[in-house]
Amino acid sequence: MSIMKVASSLIAASLSISGTVAQVKVPPNFVVGAKWQIVIQNTIDISAPIAPTDAVVWDLDLYHVARTPGIVNYLRSNNPDVILVCYFNAGLAQTSDCDYETRWKNSGLLGNIYSPDEPQFSDERWINIKNETARNWVKRRITLARDLGCDAVDPDNIDGYLNDEDGNNGTGWNLSESDYVNFVTELATHAHGLTTKQGFSMLIGQKNAPELVDQVGSVLDFAVLEDCKTLNDDEDYTFCGDFQTYISAGKPVFSIEYPSTLGDQDTGVCSPTGASDAQYAASCDTTKGNTGFSTVLKIQGGDGELNGCTQYCYGEAPGTGVVATLTDPKLDGAPCPPEASQ
């Protein structure tokens, strides 16, 4: 490549970056290091006091928010500038989704179950993201999120290509990395075209999928990572560092670590002193490419995973920072409002 070509591609890149920044209107408190909370297993209990009160960013399940309309006011009554991120399963449809019966169930757009190795998720099936109807239904969820008062979306499972590598057909759709790049890029364009109730652009994040950072990082607004230090895996690699480009661009990276000693997997009850000293140290360590990340510790596996039991990294002091956000599982099955099913 000639120097001239390098220069012109750099200019093109910076133009497209500034173009993106100009279009996306981000709330001023959505910054690197913002304190966050994520509770997506059960619906948060809106009759209980908010905990923690100083979490600025809340990541909750889109369909919990749909089924419990009081959630948005509950969070805003504590902090009017709270940023509500609505999680949904973008790569799969699951039976608890409000639009499952009405749209996905008999659509012919559902492939294989999430993973034969994880039968607990067998109510989730990979969707055919190469089909325009499927993509439009996912975009409809983003519009629903905006209509419900969410400020951002956290579309999960955008890495189905990992199941389809090397001639495998794990999703049932033979999906490639570029299929997911196209999918996520289309979702980002759709999100950014929406204005939230707070008057900002609808934001959209990258969930895991480090292979995609180079291709979608510039069009997404934040990232949500699970176990990026790979502490729960025998494999000796980390992918936190791949997301430093987000931090450099002023985009927050929200990370979750899963120390097994934090609490009881089955009941979801937190140990009052949180994770063991060794696991706390490993989870809160900031030398693994995760400088600047907003980190929460959550119970690993079971019904407690990604639920209320949480530990924050307070001054690297083990035994501190434990917070139990109360949840009310009775709310999970509340009826879906009609607009969430369509």
**Chosen residue from 133, 136, 189, 195 binding ligand NAG by CB under 6 A:** 133
Contact 147, 99 (CB under 8 A): no
CA distance 84 to 272: 27
Residue pointed to by tokens 């570029």: 178
Q: Please, which residues bridge with residue 223 across strands?
A: 206, 253
HSE-up (13 A, CA, CB side) for residue 9: 6
Nearer to ligand NAG, 41 or 128 (CB): 128
State yes or no: residue 109 binds ligand NAG (CB under 6 A): yes
Least distance in angstroms from the C-beta of 167 to ligand NAG: 7
In the complex, what is the shortest distance from the CB of residue 237 to ligand NAG, in angstroms, rounded to a whole number? 25
Is residue 115 a contact residue for ligand NAG (CB under 6 A)? no
Number of residues that bind ligand NAG (CB under 6 A): 11
Q: At its nearest, how many Å lie between ligand NAG and the CB of residue 179?
A: 7
Binding mask 170-199 for ligand NAG (x = CB under 6 A): --x-x-x-----------------------
Span from 105-113, 201-209, 213-221, 317-325 in contact with ligand NAG (CB under 6 A) = 105-113
C-alpha–C-alpha distance, residues 208 and 228, integer Å = 8
Q: Give 188's contacts (C-beta < 8 A, 6+ positions apart).
A: 204, 216, 219, 220
Q: Applying CB under 6 A, which of residues 20, 96, 102, 107 lies at the interface with ligand NAG? A: 107
Alpha helices in the chain (DSSP H): 3-23, 62-67, 70-78, 132-148, 177-192, 213-216, 244-248, 277-284, 338-341
Structure-token pair, residue 100: 């499952």
Answer yes or no: are the C-beta atoms of 36 and 296 closer than 8 Å. Answer: yes
Indicate the residue among 27 and 111 with the shorter CB distance to ligand NAG: 111
In the bound state with ligand NAG, the residue whose beta carbon lies nearer, of 175 and 219, is: 175
Phi, psi (rounded to 5 degrees) for 132:
-65, -35
Contact status: 131 vs ligand NAG (CB under 6 A): yes
User: Considering only 107-115, 237-245, 272-280, 297-305, which stretch makes contact with ligand NAG by CB under 6 A?
Assistant: 107-115
Q: Which residue's CB is nearer to ligand NAG, number 112 or number 208?
A: 112
> Where along the sequence are the contacts to ligand NAG (CB under 6 A)?
107-109, 111-112, 131, 133, 169, 172, 174, 176
